[in-house]
Each structure stands twice: as C-alpha cells, then as structure tokens.
Amino acid sequence: MAYLLLIFGFALLIKGADFFVDGSSNIARLLRIPPILIGLTIVAFGTSSPEATVSIIAAMQGTADVSIGNVVGSNIFNLTLVVGLATILFPIKVQNETIRKEIPFTLLASIALLVLISDTFLEEFNINYISRSDGLIFLLFFSVFMYYVIEVALKSRQVSVKEDVPSDIQWGKNIFITVLGLAGIIIGGQMVVDNGKEIAYAWGMSEALVGLTIIAIGTSLPELVTSIAAALKKESEIALGNIVGSNIFNILFVLGVSAVISPLQVNSKVITDIILMIVLTVLLLIFSRTNYKVGKAEGFILVIGYILYLTYIIIRN
C-alpha cells in the first residue's frame, strides 16, 4: 500500500507543479511584474511549505536534528539537484539584479546561520544551538528581504511598458489554478514523505539517515518538480527565483519560527553541511556570472556534486 501511495504522491506533485507554474506565471503577467519576483515569493513560499510544516512540528516535538537537518539538507538539494536538473533541461537565464542582490542575500542568510550556531567557537559554550533571540534575528532578516521584494515589485510596475494581456488570461481562473496546484504540491509532498519514511524504515535505515535523505529530499520535491516544470515551459526566471526564494525562506522563516517556538540544539555534524551549503551558494553565484546564465555543463557538475554529497552522508552516518 505504501508503494502505491508513494506513486500517487509523486503524481500529485507533478500535476500540482504544472498547474502552479501556469497559474503563477499568468498572475505575474496580470500584475505586470517580473516572473523572477513571483518565483521569489508565491512559488518559493508555496513549495517550501512542506519544509516549514516538518521543521515547525519537529521543533514543537523537541527533535531539533530533524528541524535543522531538514532545512540544511533541503537547501543543499535545491542548490545541486534542483538547479542541476532544471539547467540540463533548459539553461537558466539570470538577471543582473539576481546576481547582485538575491543570490548574495541567500549567501548572507547562510553565513548568518553558520555564525549564530557557532556557540562553542565564539562563546565557548558546551553546545551549539539556535536560541529564541537567534530566531528573532532570522525573522528580522526575513522582514528586510520581504521589504526589498515588495519595493522591487512596485518599482517594476511603474517603469514597465504596458502590454496587452490576452483575454483568455483571467484573474479568477489563474488564482484557482495556482491554489489547486499548491494544494497538489503540499498534499503530494506529504504523501511522498510519509510513505517514503515507512518504506525506508522497513529497509532498516536509521532515523538520522532518514532525516537527512528521505525527509530532506521529500520536502524538496515540490521545488524540484516546480523548477523542472518551469524550465520545460521556458519560464527559467521562475525556476531560479523558486530555488533562491525557497532557500532564503527555509533559513530565515522556517528556522526563525522553529527557534522562537523552541531553541534548537545543533548537532556538530551539521556544521560541515552548512559550510558546504555556503560553498554551493558561492558556486551558483560564480556560475550565474558566466554570460548571465547557468548552462548545461554547470548543471551536470551540480548533479554530480549532489550524488557525491549523498554518498558522503550515507558513509558518515
């Protein structure tokens, strides 16, 4: 039964992502704002809802390893496999603003996470943890990011040249399609995670390994299928915006809320993963600066990088 539900979950994810990309890209046209901003906000926050749900519930249950590991593992998955597969299908064009501001903001959030969890090194404490005050700092950073996105959206509407939107693109229809797609993504993602965990436990995998692999990958499947769907529809700005926005949302909002609910003790092994996440963000920035696009060759490098990382954490744990 678990195998059938897993397949049905995948089907919901894929169809939901298809609806979600269509609806959100049309909403961007109706609002006359760049698709990258839709990717950074509606699409990114929607596809990150499984991470938020899992991490916040984990924090409430006192399982900090699951909460932090889910966020870091999901971000690494996004930076490697999601970007890699999307660019192999269709090279992602990168706007100048994305290179100058959005990807660096992701890097800033990652570095802030590393600094705030380095209590044994900076404060000479016995353990590393994300305190409630750290969580509030993350939420403050998130507020700054949202202010920036709203400001750019308003400015882009003022300077954009008014163009005719086809009559078949209507508000009600596209809002319905977007919400329906988001529901499919969330329900499908949850089904994949739940049944994937059940199958993994039946295979004898440890709880720690399940958290780093099944949960992190499962909650990132919405980003994967949404970005691939966007790439296939040549909506590459939505694909990249989804990845960048999701990583910012995961660190600043998900960990911020989780830490405010309950301070999170950090496993020392996760520090290595966070450093790798920072290195991968820098790598994405470098790739983006080459002709303002991430090409197929870079995509293959990122996919291979994730396979090597997955092998490493399986051996490590």
Residues forming a β-bridge with 130: 264
- Class assignment of domain 2-159+173-316? mainly alpha
Average pLDDT over residues 275-300: 89
Lowest-confidence range among 20-24, 134-138, 212-216?
212-216
Condensed to tens digits (0 to 9), the pLDDT of residues 67-83 reads 788 889 889 999 999 99
Domain boundaries, the chain: 2-159+173-316
Share above pLDDT 70 across residues of the chain, in percent, rounded to a whole number: 90
Sign of the four-CA dihedral 61, 63, 64, 66? negative
Q: What are the C-alpha distances in Å from 52 to residues 25, 44, 284?
A: 24, 12, 24
Q: Which two tokens stand for residue 107?
A: 């890097």
The three state secondary structure string of the chain is CHHHHHHHHHHHHHHHHHHHHHHHHHHHHHHCCCHHHHHHHHHHHHHCHHHHHHHHHHHHCCCHHHHHHHHHHHHHHHHHHHHHHHHHHCCEECCHHHHHHHHHHHHHHHHHHHHHHCHHHHCCCCCEEECHHHHHHHHHHHHHHHHHHHHHHHHHHHHCCCCCCCCCCCHHHHHHHHHHHHHHHHHHHHHHHHHHHHHHHHCCCCHHHHHHHHHHHHHHHHHHHHHHHHHHCCCHHHHHHHHHHHHHHHHHHHHHHHHHHCCEEECHHHHHHHHHHHHHHHHHHHHHHCCCEECHHHHHHHHHHHHHHHHHHHHHC
Mean pLDDT across the chain: 82
Partner residues linked to 76 by β-bridges: none
Q: Is the pLDDT of residue 170 over 60?
A: yes
pTM: 0.81
pLDDT of 13 reads: 75
Residue 163 has pLDDT above 70, yes or no: no
At residue 165 the predicted structure's pLDDT band, cuts being 50, 70 and 90, is low
CA–CA gap between residue 160 and residue 162 (Å, rounded): 6
Amino acid at 9: G
Higher pLDDT, 211 or 77: 77
pLDDT-derived band at 207, boundaries 50, 70, 90: low
Mean pLDDT across the stretch 164-186? 81
| d(C-alpha 56, C-alpha 64), whole Å | 10
